[in-house]
Amino acid sequence: MSENSQFSFGAATGVGSMPGEDAREAVKTVTGTFEDFPFLPELPARGPGADMIGRTAGMLVELYARVEPSGWRIGDRPGRDTRRARSWLRQDLDALEEFTQDYEGPLKVQAVGPWTLAAQLELKNGEAALSDPGACRDLAASLTEGLRLHLAEVGRRGPRARIVLQLDEPSLTAVLRGRVATASGYRTHRAVDRQIVESTLREVMAAHDGGPVVVHSCAPDVPFALLRRAGAAGVSFDFSLLTERDDEAIGEAVEGGTRLLAGVVGGTDGPLSDPAGSVMGVRTLWRRLGLHPGLLARAVTLTPACGLAGASPAYARQALAHCVRAARSLADNPE
């Protein structure tokens, strides 16, 4: 097993985004619900700079971005949008510090990974950075340095916490398969070589200096094997999108010590089943793979299927609490 596989993850956590605009209230909800695996909430309802691309763009070193009608575009100097993104992140960290002062367990922070960032950030000509291999390398290097600084700041504010870095990569499969549209929308950018994708992810993960990194994607066909080779300690995914084609990769991941962060609760308002019903699919998968039931609690963390930014505040609170109850059900009755 890898060193990261020995890391103690909590039984349940959230993905990242939450509804509303009050950082303190969001952190209070998250830390009150997940006593053994809280996360730093993201509040995109506040506007540009609080969205996941803008928030991560604000972390970049010696690269800056601004909002255009078409999205975020790389610019020459830090402007209002960069300052706003950094200001909101400071507010969020202030709130996190207040509620995790003496916390000693795993604590998750999220940022957009290099390939989704390259697919979503525009160059000055309006095309995605993905269109230019040199721009992709520069972006990954800037992100790596920005993440080092961010993780150091989180560590100063919560010196007893064990930080987990989550890289959000919803565009990763599209990048690998050549499905990211060009600015005109008539063509797609060519697929990026898998070895380049893997090595870039490995370089960015090194920003955490040996600490555990989780990669999250709520898109279908998550490349589990590639993420494991790149060094991911865990993979976060929408459980409902799994097919039996994923069985072999998931079985190898579990046996190799990779943590599965299984999204079993809907990310938008809807009826919630009983906790045991929410994890029925996880138990079925385990039986299908022939894995020992006793491994379940040590290998699986339960989460919502994706971020909760599109949910009502009441549902978001219920969904997070439901993850905790479902994790308890899984631990109490793994079979």
Identity of residue 243: T
**Spatial distance between the Cα atoms of 197 and 201, rounded to a whole number of angstroms:** 6
Number of other CB atoms surrounding residue 186 within 10 Å: 7
**First and final C-alpha spacing in the chain:** 25
Average pLDDT over residues 194-212: 97
Question: Which residues lie below 8 Å from residue 22, measured CB to CB, with a gap of 6+?
Answer: 43
Split at pLDDT 50, 70, 90, the class of 6 is low
Split at pLDDT 50, 70, 90, the class of 207 is very high
Do the beta carbons of residue 306 and residue 268 sit within 8 Å?
Answer: no
Residue 161 has a pLDDT of 95
Instruction: With a cut of 60, say whether residue 230 has pLDDT above it.
Output: yes
- Is the pTM here over 0.85, yes or no? yes
> In terms of DSSP bridges, do strands 71-75 and 64-68 run parallel, antiparallel, or are they unpaired?
antiparallel
- Mean pLDDT of the chain, nearest integer: 94
* Torsion 141-143-144-146 (CA) sign: positive
Instruction: With a cut of 80, say whether residue 334 has pLDDT above it.
Output: no
Split at pLDDT 50, 70, 90, the class of 144 is very high
Name the percent of the chain lying above pLDDT 70. 98
Residue 47, token pair as written in the block: 């506007």
* 252 SS3 class: helix
Residue 242, token pair as written in the block: 């799994």
**In this structure, CATH architecture of domain 23-40+93-332:** Alpha-Beta Barrel (3.20)
Residue 72, token pair as written in the block: 């975020």
Average pLDDT over residues 19-30: 97
* Residue of 3 and 321 predicted with greater confidence: 321
Residue 8 has a pLDDT of 81
Q: Measuring CA to CA, which residue among 14, 5, 54, 13 is closest to residue 311? A: 14
Write the pLDDT tens digit of every residue in 53-112.
999 999 999 999 999 999 999 998 889 999 999 999 999 999 999 999 889 999 999 999
Average pLDDT over residues 196-201: 98
Residue 223 has a pLDDT of 96
Average pLDDT over residues 9-36: 97
**Spatial distance between the Cα atoms of 126 and 188, rounded to a whole number of angstroms:** 14
Residue positions counted in the chain: 335
Split at pLDDT 50, 70, 90, the class of 3 is very low
Average pLDDT over residues 120-145: 97
Per mean pLDDT, which range of 203-212, 255-264, 273-282 is the poorest? 273-282
**Spatial distance between the Cα atoms of 234 and 237, rounded to a whole number of angstroms:** 10
Sequence-ordered alpha helix ranges (H) in 13-127: 23-33, 52-57, 80-99, 114-120
Residue 78 has a pLDDT of 87
Number of other CB atoms surrounding residue 321 within 10 Å: 18
Split at pLDDT 50, 70, 90, the class of 261 is very high
Do the beta carbons of residue 50 and residue 85 sit within 8 Å?
Answer: yes
**What is the residue extent of each domain of the chain?**
23-40+93-332
Instruction: With a cut of 80, say whether residue 275 has pLDDT above it.
Output: yes
Residue 210 has a pLDDT of 85
Instruction: With a cut of 80, say whether residue 1 has pLDDT above it.
Output: no
Burial (CB < 10 A; 0-12, 13-18, 19+), residue 294, is exposed
Number of other CB atoms surrounding residue 218 within 10 Å: 21
Name the percent of the chain lying above pLDDT 90. 89
Q: Dump strand ranges (E) for the chain.
A: 64-68, 71-75, 106-112, 162-168, 213-217, 234-238, 259-265, 300-304
Residue 227 has a pLDDT of 97
